[in-house]
Structure 1
Amino acid sequence: MMNCKMIGTGSYVPDFVLTNEMLEQLVDTNDEWIVKRTGIRERRIAKGMHTWELGLKAAERALEDAGVSVDEIDLIIVSTCTPDTYSPIEASVIQDKLGAKCAAMDVNTCCTGFINASDIADSYIKCGKAKTVLVVSAETLSRITDYTDRGTCVLFGDAAGAAVYTATEEADKGILSSYIAADGSGAEYLYMEALPLEEDPLHSDRTFDHTARFLKMQGAPVVRFTATAVPSAIDEALSRAGLTAADIDWVVPHQANLRILDVIAKKYNLPKEKIYVNLDRFGNTSSASIPLCMDEMRQKGLLHEGQTVVCTGFGGGLTYGAFVVRL
């Protein structure tokens, strides 16, 4: 059986920087309050850009990094909770813009999207249905953020990240294990209506809420959930790979809140230097956060052949998961 090896990464962040000082002009908040509670100092905003545009740039850079042509791609998987349209899907748009001739699909598990998309890529490659898979995670969260709600508007930013996976006969390389899960009982803690209902003959008794199109989150329950779910996912992924925390070179978590990253460090007795963080510069970019981190790490020369990396995500659904990859 072939293994699924990560051979290239790419990312893209918009030019516009939204700082904490700028947010002070919009809502009752301040830099000290935001940094103390979240660790975020600034985030990027895609002014006048589509989600697919961010994803396309990240995809092109990942393919260049991998040395793979568009003709070699067998499948494109795009994870996003902020698609430009319900139809066509983002993956089809990016496929067309790349000039690829392959299968394409979207995945929406919110912030866990890159974990799920990578799990699908791993499954396709291991079962022989694909040799090379392009995974793209692209988010324009600014479009669903209520900038009058200080509890959420300080958190989110826009970005895209991508990874190229290919089949390898190296038994000790690639994705060694993965674990994905969900707990729908907490879905109301993090949600957004797909299509707010305005005045129409079938729902004439419903009053339109202008905030319905924005993401809503109950921060405290989400933090409590992730404090349990994330270690559970990492434990299971490590167990399936036959590894322990001592084998970890890097943990690359979804960038949501510094408190969650502290939980990971304490649980596995890892120095904070082994947990990659760019939350301070980009905020929570949903499913794009993990591949954005991975690409930064590659560019900085932090990732080396033979290293063992644990990627873990958690988000709306509530969904969570992890995978172990050996470079």
Structure 2
Amino acid sequence: MSAYITATGRFLPGDPVPNNEIEDYLGSVGRASSALRDRTLDNCGIKTRYYAIDKKQQTVVSNAEMAAEAVRTAVERAGLGGDDIELLTAATTVGDVIAPGFASMVHGELGYGPLEIATAQGICSSGMMALKNAYLQVAIGEKRTAVTVASELASRGLKSSRYEELDSDRGVIPMEAAFLRYMLSDGAGAAVIQDAPAASGISLRIDWITLTSYANTEKTCMFIGTGDSTVVKSWMDYPATADAAADGALHLRQRLTMLPHLVRVGVDEYERLCGMGKFDPEQVTWFPAHYSSERMKTILLDELERRGIWAGRPEMWFSNLTRVGNIGSASIFVILDEMMTEGMIKPGDTLLCMVPESGRFAVSFMHLTAVPAPEAG
């Protein structure tokens, strides 16, 4: 049996926020805030992003609500109703609550009838974890119709009020925490997975999904819940939550010096899969890719060229990062939604999606083939 993405949906909160308005929403932190912003934005290439908080730093739509809106759009486009969905898999980095799981909260927002749920927890790769769960269940006939959603609400953890206790005496915050304030965006993306192509339009047959962790050899690069990447002390080991916050344990951080190594790990995985015969790079039409900055794309393509590995032309590597920002686990879904709804994909096209995660280094690839509706032949 096969499994197909028959419809997609996305939800991006509010209006796009240009670079010069970031601090109107997030506020300023530290004496070098604007200089850091400009340097970060020059490297990442992001021009606009979306926030689920307003200029008073109040949340206007929850993470689960964004996810539910993306699901509703995808399900409606598939010509389905809520009672047709047998499985909901959901992913996020940080949900609205620690527990219950994110899928439970999204199901509650949707109000759909009883169904199976699964929550995937992680960072960028969690969306692919959730999608693989749905894909496999449909492919083996366990379910006929499933929906996967990934959603991120980073902004409420990046607002200036969250940093007041951190390094307040010196008036600065660590670069590894500060630069993420200008990189991350809010939003959600969803995909309906069914056991047959849609009755009209283009569907994407899921040929395979791989997700490989390199945590056995790699150190933690991106993290939250500890003040140090060695993870010797959890935020729950502090005497009180306020003590954890003051030590920076509740701020998302990323070891910037490790990012170029993530690219090499990603190319290693690309080369390994190609060598296994999982795909022929010369037959790939599109390379939809999630990356955190335009600079990372350049480093990636340079590394492929240095190794003499064919990976298409630069314009075949598609991302909407510059327009929607870095939405973490939701990014690949929002990318595919744009490609599907804008008519970029034609019958017979093949797509090799790439989602690297810097958490403790995991890399996911997905191979898709565009197929027409049955009556279209």
Per the normalisation by structure 1, the TM-score is: 0.88
Structure 1 residues 169 and 15: CA distance shift in structure 2, 3 A? closer
Match of 1:304 in 2: 346
In the alignment, is the contact (CA less than 8 A) between 1:109 and 1:319 conserved in 2? no
CA distance in 1: counterparts of 2:244 and 2:178, whole angstroms: 24
For 2:155 and 2:97, the matched residues in 1 are separated by 16
Which one-letter code corresponds to 2:218 in the other structure? G
Q: Which residue of 2 aligns with 1:12?
A: 11
Q: Which moved more, 1:59-68 or 1:143-152?
A: 143-152
Q: Which residue of 2 aligns with 1:124?
A: 137
The structure-2 alpha-carbon separation of the partners of 1:74 and 1:233, relative to structure 1 and needing over 3 Å to count, comes to farther
Pair 111,253 (structure 1): closer, same or farther in 2 beyond 3 Å: same
1:323 equivalenced with 2:376 (yes/no): no
Bigger Cα displacement from structure 2, 310-319 vs 72-81: 310-319
- How far apart, in 1, do the equivalents of 2:268 and 2:78 lie? 32
- What does 1:1-327 align with in structure 2 at a 5 Å threshold? 2-23=1-22, 26=28, 27-29=33-35, 33-47=39-53, 48=59, 49-98=61-110, 99-145=112-158, 147=160, 149-168=177-196, 174-184=205-215, 185-193=217-225, 196-197=235-236, 200=239, 209-225=246-262, 227-238=263-274, 242-266=278-302, 267=304, 268-315=310-357, 316-327=359-370
The count of residues paired between Structure 1 and Structure 2 equals: 322
Judge which range, 85-94 or 236-245, deviates more: 236-245
Matching residue's letter, 1:95: H
**Alpha-carbon distance in 1 for matches of 2:255, 2:34:** 18
Between 17-26 and 266-275, the greater mean CA deviation after superposition: 17-26
Q: Which amino acid aligns with 1:215?
A: L
Instruction: Give the Cα separation in 2 of the matches to 1:176 and 1:283.
Output: 28
Cα distance between partner residues in 2 of 1:150 and 1:200: 25
Q: Are 2:223 and 2:252, in contact at CA under 8 Å, matched by a contact in 1?
A: yes
Check 1:83–1:169 CA distance in 2 against 1; reply closer, same or farther (3 A cut): closer
Q: Distance in 2 between matches of 1:13 and 1:19?
A: 14
Gapped regions of structure 2 (runs ≥ 5): 54-58, 161-172, 227-233, 305-309, 371-377
**What does the per-residue CA deviation read over 1:68-120, in whole Å, with 9 as the maximum and x for residues that have no partner?**
22222121000101211122222122223321321011101310122222222
Identity of aligned residues (%): 20
Report the equivalent of 2:230: none
Change (3 A) 1:299 1:241: farther
| Runs of 4+, deviation exceeding 6 Å | none
* TM-score normalised according to structure 2 size: 0.77
User: Taking structure 1 as reference, are residues 137 and 168 closer, same or farther at Cα in structure 2, changes over 3 Å only?
Assistant: same
Q: Amino acid of the residue matched to residue 245 of structure 1? A: P
Instruction: Give the direction of change, closer, same or farther, for the CA distance of 1:236–1:132 in structure 2 (3 Å limit).
Output: farther
User: Match for 2:368: what amino acid?
Assistant: V
Instruction: Indicate the RMSD between aligned Cα atoms, in angstroms.
Output: 2.8
Q: Give yes or no for contact 2:291–2:356 (8 Å, CA) kept in 1.
A: no
The farther-off stretch of 191-200 and 281-290 is 191-200
Q: What's the CA shift for 1:223?
A: 2.9
1:281/1:208 CA distance change after superposition, 3 Å: closer
State the 1:280 CA deviation. 1.1
Pairwise CA distance, 1:154: 1.2
1:243 partner SS: coil
| Aligned-partner Cα distance in 1 for 2:103–2:245 | 32
Structure 1 residue 7, shift from structure 2 partner? 0.5
Evaluate the alpha carbon distance shift between residue 152 and residue 12 of structure 1 in structure 2; reply closer, same or farther with a 3 A threshold.
Answer: same
In 2, Cα distance between equivalents of 1:106 and 1:187? 25
Of 254-263 and 230-239, the range deviating more from structure 2: 230-239
For residue 66 of structure 1, report the CA deviation from its aligned partner.
Answer: 1.6
What is aligned with 2:166? Answer: none
> Would the aligned equivalents of 1:135 and 1:163 in 2 still touch at CA under 8 Å?
yes
SS of 1:289's equivalent in the other structure is helix
Matching residue's letter, 1:65: R
| Residues 9-39 of structure 1: CA deviation (Å, up to 9, x unaligned) | 0001111544322346721326753343111
Q: How many angstroms apart in 1 are the aligned matches of 2:293 and 2:281?
A: 22
The CA deviation at 1:287 is 0.3
